[in-house]
Structure 1
Amino acid sequence: MKFEKELIHGTLIKRYKRFLADIELDTGEVVVAHCTNSGSMKSCLENGAEVYLTPVDDPKRKTKFTWEMIKINGDWVGINTGNPNKLAFEAISAGQIPGLEEYTIVRREVKFGDSRFDVFAENKQEKCFVEVKNVSMKQNEYALFPDAITTRGQKHLKTLIEVKKQGMRAVMLYIIQRSDVEIFAPAKEIDPEYAALLKEAFAAGVEIFPMQAKVTPHKITLVKKLPFEL
């Protein structure tokens, strides 16, 4: 996934009210950027760190920038929760994710029951619902999800179990937007209910794809599938 606009470099002053961040640009100007990540951003929030923003030309938007990434321990961590959906759609459409290739129809935002899944893919043999989650939290060598309790995420897991029961393929695709981790796991201490449901879903046949991405100011690229522990 390439960024459509040239990103603007700056330094994080502070994040506040969950969805806002004060950023000092290299010009010295201080701007307010929109933060799409509603979680705690634990382990990827550091005042004074380098950041990159996308400029936004939307007169309806109060904020004229979207916060894309932050440099932590010398490497970029993607924090825009909207990018994984775009990345997943592009990669599945192009057959670039091992195990999710050869789908002839790929669509975004498709409903099943009372849930809406990020990607739906099908071919002559099967139909597949894919829920995409952004992962930015790190603990030692582990990439963890979620970084805050997610009742919405719990609901998606329950619905994916129903998808599987109806004979279709059900996939949890975790896009890990950082390079300094080696294994994926649910954050049991933060959301034990989600962790238990993920284990239940996996036992029911829901597939788990933790895909690590390389984040740069020019593009985000899926690199490899990580192992996982439940």
Structure 2
Amino acid sequence: MQFKEKLVHGKLIKRYKRFLADVELEDGTVVTAHCTNSGSMKTCLETGAPVCLTPVNDPKRKTKFTWEMIFINGGWIGINTSIPNLLAYEAIRDGKIKKLRGYTSVKREVTFGDSRFDIFAENDREKCFVEVKNVTMKSGDFALFPDAVTTRGKKHLETLMEVKKAGMRAVMLYVIQRTGVHRFGPAREIDPAYADALEKAVTAGVEVIPVQAEVSPEKIEIVRELPFVLR
């Protein structure tokens, strides 16, 4: 995924009220940007760190920028939670994720029961529902999810189990938008209920695929799969 226009550079002053961030631009102007990430953003917040914003030309929006990424410990971290869905869609469509190749039709935002999944893929042999999550938290060489308690995420796992029970393929795809990590696992200390639900889902046949994306102000692309460690 390439950014359609040049991103605006600045430095983070603070993030507050979950969805807002004050940023000092290179010319000294201070602006307020929209933060799409509703989590704690643990391990990817640092006052004074370089950030990149997308300018938004929408008279209906109060904030004129969207916060895309932050530079910490020598690498960019993608914090825009709407990006992984697009990354996953493009990667599955183009056959760039080995375990999700071979589908002739790939669609976004498809309903199953009373839930809506990020991606639905099919061919003449199988149907597959994929739920996508953005991962930014780091502990040692582990990427961890979630960074805050998520009842919604737990519900997605439960619905994926229903998909599997109905005879279709069910996939939990974690898109890790940072480097410096080599494995993925659940953040059990932060949300033990989610970790338990993930373990139950795996036992029920739900597939877990962690993929790592390289993030830069020019583009973000999925480059590799990472090992999944449940415990």
Equivalent in the alignment of 1:197:
197
Amino acid at match of 2:110: V
TM-score (structure 2 length as normaliser)? 0.99
Equivalent in the alignment of 1:83:
83
Amino acid at match of 2:64: K
Equivalent in the alignment of 1:128:
128
Query: What is the Cα deviation at residue 227 of structure 1?
Result: 0.4
**2:53 is paired with a residue of what secondary structure?**
strand
Equivalent-residue separation in structure 2 for 1:89 and 1:223 (angstroms): 14
Equivalent in the alignment of 2:69:
69
Equivalent-residue separation in structure 2 for 1:6 and 1:114 (angstroms): 39
**1:120 is paired with a residue of what secondary structure?**
strand
**2:99 is paired with a residue of what secondary structure?**
coil
Equivalent-residue separation in structure 2 for 1:181 and 1:156 (angstroms): 25
The RMSD of aligned alpha carbons is 0.5
Amino acid at match of 1:83: I
Residue 207 in 1 paired to residue 216 in 2? no
Equivalent in the alignment of 2:19:
19
Equivalent in the alignment of 2:3:
3
Equivalent-residue separation in structure 2 for 1:58 and 1:101 (angstroms): 37
Query: What is the Cα deviation at residue 193 of structure 1?
Result: 0.5
**Deviating 4+ runs (over 6 angstroms):** none
Equivalent in the alignment of 1:185:
185
Equivalent in the alignment of 2:106:
106
Q: How does 1:162-173 map to 2 (within 5 A)?
A: 162-173=162-173
Q: Which runs of 5+ in 1 are unaligned?
A: none
Equivalent in the alignment of 1:49:
49
Q: Percent identity?
A: 69
Query: What is the Cα deviation at residue 228 of structure 1?
Result: 1.2
**1:200 is paired with a residue of what secondary structure?**
helix
Query: What is the Cα deviation at residue 113 of structure 1?
Result: 1.1
**2:161 is paired with a residue of what secondary structure?**
helix
Equivalent-residue separation in structure 2 for 1:130 and 1:196 (angstroms): 20
TM-score (structure 1 length as normaliser)? 0.99
Equivalent in the alignment of 1:92:
92
Query: What is the Cα deviation at residue 5 of structure 1?
Result: 1.4
Equivalent-residue separation in structure 1 for 2:99 and 2:146 (angstroms): 24
Equivalent in the alignment of 1:175:
175
Give a deviation string over 1:58-98, Cα, whole Å, max 9, x none: 11110000000000101100000000001001111111110
**Count of matched residue pairs:** 230
Equivalent in the alignment of 1:37:
37
Residue 219 in 1 paired to residue 215 in 2? no
Equivalent-residue separation in structure 2 for 1:167 and 1:5 (angstroms): 43
**1:99 is paired with a residue of what secondary structure?**
helix
Query: What is the Cα deviation at residue 99 of structure 1?
Result: 1.1
Query: What is the Cα deviation at residue 9 of structure 1?
Result: 0.4
